[in-house]
Amino acid sequence: MNSPLALPLAQSVIDRDALARDGSELFDLIWLEPATRIIVLHKGKTLVADKSLKLFTTEEATAGKYRVYLGRSNARFEELEPGTAIVLSVLTDNAARELEPDETKWHELRRTGAGLAPSHATLFTQALAIHNWHETHQFCPACGEITIMRQGGWSRFCLKEDRELFPRTDAAVIVSIIDDQGRILLGSQGSWEANRWSVLAGFVEAAESLESAVKREMLEEAGILVSNPTYLGSQAWPYPYSLMLGFTAKVDSNNSAEDIQADGVEISKLRWFSKEELQAEASAIRLPSRISIARALIENWLGEEIETATELESN
């Protein structure tokens, strides 16, 4: 079933308001708006309550290491009036402790995202992606000098090189491989807990088309040729700042489904699942989070949502 994927993190809930980023008084003006809301991050984690992010007013939030203007809410962000300014504040250790000293109340996207409302999970993803970029791009790649933030947090600038640096996005393909019996190929990494499975994925290399990346990565990770890569959808994945491009592909007629061989590096074992087998083993198997494109690809092939040990353990 090659219908469009239902991707929670692919929706647009914010007008990124790029034309406003150049203003030198941007944050001063935003802070004058009583409706402005702030999402806080500390070590990649945020605060949540009742399936929603805790969004703070300018009076409630403490000063952080840096701020990023994320944009303004649109009508799809149901909890906020359209046009509400939203700012990311990345906190120091002291500021985070002052705001919430209980470390167990700070949540990461991988574990909490599936329980958030889609609009809140999307906002968390955007905030985390730009945060991860800033954390790893504080120095100029040309001269090594420290860079400064500009454009409301959407670029960094090297004074020595007179060079503007913009957030990068790493493209990665993620693929549901289907054989001539209609089975799906799932793999498991050695570092994962027992019986956790997912579809295969890999980064796109320089000057490589997405279709070529699909074929190369599947051959590298599973030892199998695939054909007819079909694009199904994309969504951001902020680990660290990726764009996951979802495909489905068929096992190429020049090889057999039994030719699969895990690379032993990224993938430790591989297995073909029929729909009946996956449904029968659902209570014991662990699949990717519901917010991930990997889960969407699996359920797109299955033709329905499935409750696995992943969900049973969190209930």
Mean pLDDT of 172-190: 96
Mean pLDDT of 125-137: 95
Do 14 and 82 touch, CB atoms closer than 8 A?
Answer: no
Dist. CA 198–CA 176, nearest whole Å: 9
- What pLDDT, on a 0 to 100 scale, did the predictor assign at position 313? 67
212-218 contacts at long range (C-beta below 8 A, 24 or more positions apart): 213/171, 213/173, 214/173, 214/175, 214/247, 214/249, 215/249, 217/173, 217/175, 218/175, 218/177, 218/249
Give pLDDT tens digits for 4-62. Answer: 788 988 888 999 999 999 888 999 999 999 999 999 999 999 999 888 999 999 999 87
Q: Tell me the torsion sign for CA atoms 89, 94, 98, 102.
A: positive
Q: For the whole model, what pTM was predicted?
A: 0.90
Give pLDDT tens digits for 161-171. Answer: 999 999 989 99
Give pLDDT tens digits for 229-256. Answer: 999 999 999 998 999 999 999 999 998 8
Q: φ, ψ for residue 90 (rounded to 5)?
A: -95, 120
pLDDT band of residue 315 (cuts 50, 70, 90) is low
Domains and CATH numbers, the chain: 8-135 (no CATH), 137-168 (no CATH), 170-314 (3.90.79.10)
- What pLDDT, on a 0 to 100 scale, did the predictor assign at position 314? 62
- What pLDDT, on a 0 to 100 scale, did the predictor assign at position 79? 84
